[in-house]
Structures are given as structure tokens and as C-alpha cells.
Amino acid sequence: MKIDEAVEQRVRDTLHWVVKQNPDEFDKALRSFPDESSRLHALELLARINAYAAIDVFGHRPSLAEIQVLAEKIARSEEWSTASVSEIATFLEAVLGGRALSEALPADSAVFLSFIVAGNLLSSQPMPEGQWWFDYLDRVEAVIEKY
């Protein structure tokens, strides 16, 4: 996938506010995407980021039971977002199963969850000393761009 640099920067900026758990700035960042094309590209990128990071958590494609456990963990960590366990589990099942998010969730929920789940998965992975969630994102995007 070829990642558009302008869209990627907006995705990264929006994820920053998820990681910081700042709902007001997160909302502003969500509205910064200038058009439908950039929003769709962001969702495609985020679906791939989420799938990669969720698989990375377990070292394999997670089972439905593992997805449920992960969804519970994310919901607890991201209480500020009001994302429910069932919404997160449905979202993860869709991205890991290659299903269109529009088939699984309302559009607003799909956008919201794409960022909330990615922010959590990227920032909750153990990192070597001196590395941060955005370093992990760099590695994930490098893999995504190869395919």
C-alpha cells in the first residue's frame, strides 16, 4: 500500500491525542481531514495498522476468545473514549477478518474506533528503552508499504 504522506501525518497527529487521552484535541484532529478521499485513505491505513498490531500482540492471528480479552483490555485502558467492549471486539473481528468496516459498524463508530484501538495497540506494546509508540508505528507502516 502506498501511504499518502499528508494523510499519514494527520493520522499520526490524531493518534497523538488518543495516546494523550485528550478528547477535545482528538475531536479537532478528526475534523482536520480535508475531504472524503483523505478520510477513506486514513481508514484503510488504520485498518491495516490495527490488524498488524493486534496480530503482533499475540504473535498470531487471535482467536475470537483472544479478541474478546483484548477488547476488554482496550476498553478498560480507554475509558475516557466511552468505546464499549462489544464495539471494540466487533471492530477487531472486522479488521482481522478483512471485512469492510461499513458492514460491521456505523460509519462514525468505525472512524472513532479505528483511532482509539490503534492508539491503544501502538502505545501499549512493550518498547525498548528510548523507543515510543510512534517508533512502533514507523515499523508497522514500513511493513504496510511493502504490501
Write the single-letter amino acid at 51.
A
pLDDT tens digits, one per residue of 111-133: 999 999 999 999 999 999 999 99
**How many other C-beta atoms can be found within 10 angstroms of the C-beta atom of residue 7?**
20
- Please give the Cα distance from 135 to 70 (Å, whole number): 22
pLDDT tens digits, one per residue of 22-52: 999 999 999 999 999 999 999 999 999 999 9
Residue length of the chain: 147
Range of the domain at 26: 5-146
pLDDT above 90: residue 147 = no
3-state secondary structure 17-30: HHHCCCHHHHHHHH
pLDDT tens digits, one per residue of 87-106: 999 999 999 999 999 999 99
Say if residue 4 is exposed, middle or buried (CB neighbours under 10 Å; 0-12, 13-18, 19+).
middle
Give the pLDDT confidence score for residue 119 in this predicted structure: 98
Contact 88, 77 (CB under 8 A): no
Confidence (pTM): 0.96
| CA angle 146–109–106, rounded 5-degree value | 100
Total domains in the fold of the chain: 1
DSSP letter for each residue of 38-66: HHHHHHHHHHHHHHHHHHHHHTSPPPHHH
Q: What is the mean pLDDT of residues 124-146?
A: 95
